[in-house]
Amino acid sequence: MRRIIAGLTTALLALGLSVAAFAAPAIAHTPTVSGVAACQTDGSYTVTWTYTTTNVPDGKQAKAWVSSHTPKDSTLGGKGTATYEGKFFIALWAEFAEQYPDVTVVVANGSTTFTQTGIAAGESTASVTVETKWNDDFVQQASGTVTLDPSCGDTEPPACIPADEASLSVAATDETSRKGGHAPVPCEEPEVPAVHVSATASATAQSCVDGDASKPVSGYLTLEPNDNVSYQVNLEESPSGVIEAIPGYYYVTAIAHDGYVLDGPGEWELDIAASECTWPEEPEEPTEPEIPVDPETPVEPEIPVDPPVLEPDPEPCVENSEIPSGSWFINLVLIDNVDFFIDGVLTESAANEVEPGTYIVTAVARPGYELVGETEFVVVVGTLECEPAEPEIPTVPPVTPEEPEEPEEPPVTPEEPTEPVVPPVTPEEPVTPPVVPVSRTAVASASSESCASTNVVQGAITVAFPTGEETSVRYDVATTNTVEIPVELTAARTVMAPGNYTVTASTRSASETLAGTRSWNLVVDDADCAATAAVPVLALTGVATESTLTLAGGLMLLGAAGIYLRRRFVGVAK
């Protein structure tokens, strides 16, 4: 009996394990689909479906897609859904994320939603069927059906309500939608399209002028100006434009203002490299102007430039000698952040010794600064001439006429009174000092055309007028070896076209004389530069046509007379 009971017990246990083994797949990893319908303002329906998996054991993964839906003319969609290979996928596990990148990735025993829209009024039901394929190739189907309320579309759609009141109607809206009726909807504010703006940032390393290590140029950051973009340098607000900066690394960010969107990058890591130039020591007291920090509208500091001053050597002449021993100097007022050039050559000296001639002094502001007023000056340097020692004028003592002696009065005779006799006094003539003639000095020079960086510097003739008596000396110019009537030069520097010229000087007063040279043959050479703008040039005009013809006729008569006399003298000689 015991053996029979033991055999039955073993058979029942085996049967129970077998049933459990066959029942397990039926209760594991079960997918379900449920939906909620909502009536739309146009009378159609929208169903929101929820796909859920339960009892999913560890290690099980799957992908799910909608295999069929009704009505067929409705549309499936929703965030995290996509169609691949003709299948509308609604969910998948991480194993398939790279294969289907637009589909929602869910964990085991989770859920996701999708929508079915465009269900026309009059439809009674809507349904979907979802297939789930597990990673062991086991496929399950889950279906869902929603009954639609036939009253959808019977009432007029409500007007929208303001956005600040929409939150108060959320509960009523949800309840009405579930019943298939119309619910108030919040008014949609029109979207204002964002305006796209751009921003750029770059860095320029330190450098040396013409490779000279003693002439350094600062490095700087360049931030593209834009009224709708703000910049930060190393997380601090910064103005746009050109900003002088020391060598190092800089983190620059651009921030678009409200209503604007940046096109392109908005962050830069910039490096300003150091040069091998020798930098001057910083002054104890900074003289740089204060730069206002205004990220919206930055203003470059303005620097005034003092014109150069031409001064001779303090002792240009040896005592009692007409031979000069000194030199001329062009004196500059040096300014921080401003470079000075004399005829295109950079100078860092305040006093610059020069020879006689014409020079162009140019001031150039460094990046981040702006010059106000004139930035180019023409300096004319004449020849140093010592005046002869003035002759000593003899001093004539003043002559005081002697007072006449009073005559002795004769005894008075009452009968015949006599008047006293006063001898006549002849005053001595005053001595007139000798008249010393006034000597004037005249100087004339020429400068040829030269090529500047941005334009052509025209040639010119430069003359020197006596200081304080500019009208005492007159200069006239004419083309060399021509019959032109000379033209008076009224300015210290006159721009001339390339050519050969003869300049003569004379005094306007007969009592004055000229010392030294009175005539110069000057040449203005052509630099062969491509000038971009025409510069007024002195024209030698004023010769009347009648006078020219008369002079030409006279020269022809003189030539004919010379030929006649030569032949006559030759005949006599024979």
Q: Are strands 260-263 and 195-198 parallel, antiparallel or unpaired?
A: parallel
Record the tokens describing residue 203, joined without a space: 């860095």
Per-residue pLDDT, 531: 47
Render pLDDT for 501-533 as a digit per residue (tens, 0 to 9).
Answer: 999 999 888 888 887 888 999 999 988 776 444
| Domain 26-154 homologous superfamily, CATH | Immunoglobulins (2.60.40.10)
Mean pLDDT (the chain) is 75
Give the model's pLDDT for residue 451.
Answer: 83
In this structure, whether the domain defined by 438-543 belongs to CATH 2.60.40 is answered with: yes
Quick: pLDDT tens for 96-146.
Answer: 777 788 787 776 677 889 999 999 888 999 999 999 888 778 888 999 999
Burial of 123 by CB count in 10 Å (0-12 exposed, 13-18 middle, 19+ buried)?
A: middle
Task: Please answer whether residues 461 and 446 qualify as being in contact, where contact means their C-beta atoms are separated by less than 8 angstroms.
Answer: yes
pLDDT tens-digit map of 251-260: 999 999 998 9
175 band by pLDDT with thresholds 50, 70 and 90: very low
Proportion of the chain above pLDDT 70, given as a percent: 62
pTM for the whole structure: 0.29
441 alpha-carbon distance from chain centroid = 50
DSSP string, 148-187: PPTTTTSSPPPPPB-HHHHGGGHHHHHHHHHTTS----BP
**Rounded distance between C-alpha atoms, residue 572 and residue 428, angstroms:** 72
* Res 86: pLDDT: 83
Return the top range by mean pLDDT from 42-51, 131-140, 193-202. 42-51
**DSSP bridge pairs for 444:** 463
The H or E element spanning position 262 is: strand 260-263
Q: Round to the nearest angstrom and report the end-to-end CA distance of the chain.
A: 190
In this prediction, residues 228-246 reach a mean pLDDT of 91
